[in-house]
Chain A
Amino acid sequence: MKMKNLLTAFSVIAICCACEKEIDPDIDTAASQVVIEAQLRKGDQAFNVLISRSTPYFESATQPMVENATVTLRDDLGNTTLLAHTAKGNYTAQVNGTVGTTYTLEVAVDGTTYTASSTMMEDVDIVNIEADFQEGGLVNDDGYEVFFRYNDPAGARNYYRAIYSINGVPQLSASNLQVLTDDFNNGQLARFPILGEVFEEGQRVTVEFIHFDNAAFDYFKSLADIVSDANGFVGGTAAPANPTTNWSGNVLGHFTAINSDTMSVVVRYCNARPSTGNDLQGA
């Protein structure tokens, strides 16, 4: 028995001797870069552009805002809208976002003009949203999985993002960034589970399902790769770099036209029956 313990101890030493510590790597401070974040939504509503500058990685200093930019929105119908600076790097105008229109945003900062274009995609609505009880494993505890279904348009490749909130609190942390394509379910009734979260009874879960263009997908996909553990076994980026942006020039951030649908579910016990696999037996 003692021998067994000894062998166990040795094998544990051999496998688990990995250790972590904080280090202070020698990194050159890069020049500050302009960051432009802009999301244009479908319908007649306020369109906001936020312009700031990046800061050194290990400094907790607040991000400086850019307040002297000229911001112009054009569309492929020939309309031009000038955005006004309201406060702290925010530029705003009332815009009516319409499906099928391609929008181009121009931002001039200190003599340099940056441009980006994005197309408003068609409606893809959530069909239903459900919660389903799942037994826990090593990765997850016992709890509920929330998933929704949508009818993917046939033909062209479609790109999506899902954002969810719990009891009205948006879960926007970087690790919750979820993007998807229709590569494996083109033109079908597709089912998408919210990944990486186990829900509890009584929680109200709201999903905003965003349909956007290829450039936006590339941006959020590469952003997700950067913010997830870059050294992860699966996923992570092959070559750490700034996200693939649709902005011209050396600038961070993105400009995205967004068409989304929202639906909620309250996680209840009656939702916990196993899903439809055995329906035919009862018939």
Chain B
Amino acid sequence: MAIYFAQKVIVLMKNTTRKIITCLAVLVCSVASAQNEKYTLSGQIKDASNGEDMPFANVVVTNLSGVGVTSNEYGFYSISLAAGEYDISFQLIGYESVVKHVSLTQNVRLDVEMGASTQQLAEVVISDQKENVNVTRNDGSVTKIDIKAIKEIPALGGEPDVMKVIQTTPGIKTAGEGNSGFYVRGGGLDQNLILLDEAPVYNPSHLLGIFSVFNGDALKSTEIYKGGMSAKYGGRTASVMDIRMKDGNSKQLAVTGGIGLIASRVTVEAPIVKNKGSFMISGRRTYADLFLQLSNDDELSDNTLFFHDLNLKANYRLGDKDKLYLSGYYGRDKLGIGDQIGFDWGNVPGTLRWNHIISDKLFSNTSLILSNYDYNIIIGSGENKIELESVIADYNLKQDFTYYLNNDNNLKFGINAIHHTVEPGNLTVGPNTGFTSEDATPSIGVEGAVYLQNEQKITTRLQVNYGLRYSFLQRIGEGDEFTLDGNGNVLAVETFDANAPMEFMGGFEPRLSANYSLDEFSSLKLGLNRNLQYIHLLTNATTSTPIDTWIMSSKNVRPQIAEQVSLGYYRNFRQNTFEASAEVYYKDMDHVIDYRNGANAFFNDEIEADLVSGDGDAYGIEFYLKKNKGKLTGWVSYTLSRTTRQFDEINNGERFSARQDRTHDIAVVAAYKLSDRVTLSGNYTFYTGDAVTFPSGQYSLEGSSIPAYGPRNDNRMPNYHRMDFGLTWKRPQKGRFESSWNFSVYNVYLRENPYIITFQENEDDPSQNEAIQLSLFKIVPSVTYNFSF
């Protein structure tokens, strides 16, 4: 009897110890009750029409309430169930649900293809669970853009642009008229991590921002995280914009294209080996300059002004468990005035990715990423030529794992190392210029991170994602470290040899997001995040340009830190016809960078001495109402917010409004289906003018009138508002050939929105000063012809 008891205790202890070890090993304390005889169902979810991987699809066990998982970003899913008979439903918005019957007596691999739903079906199946996914999913502070829908929204020059569409959603504000840059919840332009297939894009603008570098035809999905982001993301403090390119149609050849007044584009997708591999290639070019060359006026025809870009992607499946992806982008803007001035710039990000299914529960992704951004300025020619080149180059290695521990815990962990090189200015000059050719010392650093994240279902109502990231920057020589006094004067310089370790800095970044379902149609979402940023963009505060300088953190430039908390209430009405949400946020920023008064950013060796470090805070409330069904669809977003900065060296240390402090920001986007073929669309934007510094007084110096300035950002630009209309007319389909005409008018009521306000002496009466407002686009009509087959 005693022996029996002893055995029982040992078994119990063994079991308990095993449980505890498992607990510790995975940092999860609520291991689901250990059932015997569990099997794993896993596989790949793909689009039936073109074989694209389908990320974030829901996999629901219909005969077990509340049991389900979501596919990862590569379309892989894994779910563990006791032996038995199950009906598994695969669901994603815009697709017909697929239900598969599974007899689970061993581990099963089940790949699924889903087809796009037709309009009628979506309207009939009103109680389908997938329609309230915006309420039930743990994704507060996340905005998803439907790439297919953006073509119907009126756009400047008829070029559908995902960057412009995200600027109409709450909490995300445009950097100005026709600008691709954006501000998220009081953050700066450089605080957004913009990823194209995991590769950071340093400058998202073409033609000074009028177009973004992202060609809508080449894209598959776009998500932007304003807060509570997963621990797998890092490097920027305000947001993560995760853009994925199409994999390429693996079933058949498909061609998409568009011909517009300003630019044309074409995309070709085809299988390499049917159902095993495919590729996609997409190109774009503007041709305004070709028309300039038609001009008889030499001054016009000698000029160049265009951009072209190319998206490339290929993937190949090596058996059941391995898949390789190669994706790249090449874009170049060229601007030239005769042979006197030449200016060109561009991004070249590229990614080589290997997906490997290690076991039916463990998924691995390895990425080797290159990011390159450079610009060239050439002034003069021959012996008088001055050429300035600046380059930022990254080599980036990422290893990510997804481990489906059980149906309630999904672990993500990985490491990341980025080698940054910033060459601020390489000067090459002709013999007759009086200058010496010289390369400014490049800055080099390694940014590294490790992270662990768990997505946990605590109850059927409460889902929590929590994680921890540790990141660091190790600066590497050669280079100089400056010792500065409080006024930015250089007291001492320490010089480091090539490859010598310089300053090291690092920190922890905890992340949390939680979703609590109040009922089937409403939920509360909480987000907490702390983000560190080691690389910063210095922009001349007025507008961003291609020559803005990136600098790395150093002895004098501390990493920027943002800590944010957000809480949202999400509610759907009328059988999910309307989605509504209200979300409040508060963000505290440390080591924010700004210029000392009067600083000059252009080609400044000791730029660190011209920078000041301070703190910022931002808070606001975001309202969003979206109508998903019926003839009229669209959304209204409104943000009420405040963003301030404080620096000891500016405004005598008093807190002042950041440039992007916009009290009110309203956007309305609507589409009305007049018939099956004709859709009318419109959008309206209003926002409070930027906080800026205007001259408040004047005085005379050497006979000239000089403006005197008051405190920083004490004035306001006039409010911005604009309305656009668009009309999309689908032509009757002929076989596989589909085509449509898109007509759009940008700024229909001819609002003259200020782009720049210049203060100057009146030419006729120099004793009188005047303010001159420059408006960019009074009204821009455009027509685009789109086709696909």
Interface residues of B in 737-789 (CB under 8 A from A): 752, 754-759, 765, 767-782
**Cβ contacts under 8 Å, B161 to chain A:** none
| Shortest distance between the CB of B537 and any CB in chain A (Å) | 12
Q: Are A52 and B542 in contact (CB under 8 A)?
A: no
**Cβ contacts under 8 Å, A4 to chain B:** 294
Task: Count A-B pairs with CB separation below 8 Å.
Answer: 231
**Cβ contacts under 8 Å, B758 to chain A:** 229-231
Which residue of chain B is the closest to A229 with respect to CB atoms?
A: B758
Chain B 333-368 against A: per-residue CB contact (8 Å), 1 yes, 0 no? 000011111000000000000000000000000000
Q: Is A35 an interface residue (CB 8 A)?
A: yes
Q: Is B3 an interface residue (CB 8 A)?
A: no
A184-B756 contact given A4-B294, A63-B699, CB 8 Å threshold = no
Q: How far is the CA of A27 from the CA of B291 in the complex (A)?
A: 43
Q: How far is the CA of A56 from the CA of B771 in the complex (A)?
A: 14
Q: Is B613 an interface residue (CB 8 A)?
A: no
**Cβ contacts under 8 Å, B299 to chain A:** 138
Q: Are A239 and B693 in contact (CB under 8 A)?
A: yes
Q: How far is the CA of A206 from the CA of B695 in the complex (A)?
A: 34
Q: How far is the CA of A184 from the CA of B440 in the complex (A)?
A: 11
| Shortest distance between the CB of A7 and any CB in chain B (Å) | 6
Q: How far is the CA of A34 from the CA of B773 in the complex (A)?
A: 30
| Shortest distance between the CB of B758 and any CB in chain A (Å) | 6
Chain A 168-197 against B: per-residue CB contact (8 Å), 1 yes, 0 no? 000011100000000111001011110000
Q: Contacting chain B: which of A12-20, A116-124, A258-266?
A: A12-20
Which residue of chain B is the closest to A27 with respect to CB atoms?
A: B694
Q: Are B774 and A222 in contact (CB under 8 A)?
A: no
Q: How far is the CA of A183 from the CA of B425 in the complex (A)?
A: 13
Q: Are A29 and B696 in contact (CB under 8 A)?
A: yes
Q: How far is the CA of A58 from the CA of B760 in the complex (A)?
A: 10
Q: Are B599 and A55 in contact (CB under 8 A)?
A: no
Most interface-central of A21, A227, A230, A234 (chain B CB within 10 A): A230
Q: How far is the CA of A10 from the CA of B286 in the complex (A)?
A: 13
B: contact size bracket: 35 or more
Q: Are B712 and A32 in contact (CB under 8 A)?
A: no
Chain A 17-43 against B: per-residue CB contact (8 Å), 1 yes, 0 no? 111111111111110110101000000
**Cβ contacts under 8 Å, B597 to chain A:** 222, 239, 241-242, 244
Q: Contacting chain A: which of B212-220, B276-284, B426-434, B632-640?
A: B426-434
Q: Residue A30 contacts which of B291, B598, B696, B779 (CB distance < 8 angstroms)? A: B696
Q: Are B759 and A57 in contact (CB under 8 A)?
A: yes
Q: Are A243 and B598 in contact (CB under 8 A)?
A: yes
Q: Is B221 an interface residue (CB 8 A)?
A: no
Q: Is B29 an interface residue (CB 8 A)?
A: no
Chain B 601-620 against A: per-residue CB contact (8 Å), 1 yes, 0 no? 11001000000000000000
A binding-site residues for B, Cβ under 8 Å: 4, 7-8, 10-15, 17-30, 32-33, 35, 37, 52-58, 60, 63, 137-139, 147, 149, 172-174, 183-185, 188, 190-193, 218, 221-223, 225-227, 229-231, 233-244, 252-253, 275, 277
- The 9 A-B pairs of least Cβ separation, nearest first, read A191-B434, A222-B598, A241-B597, A30-B696, A137-B340, A54-B697, A54-B699, A60-B767, A11-B291
7 more A-B contacts (CB under 8 A) besides A11-B261, A184-B435, A242-B598? Answer: A17-B777, A25-B718, A35-B700, A54-B699, A57-B698, A226-B598, A239-B599
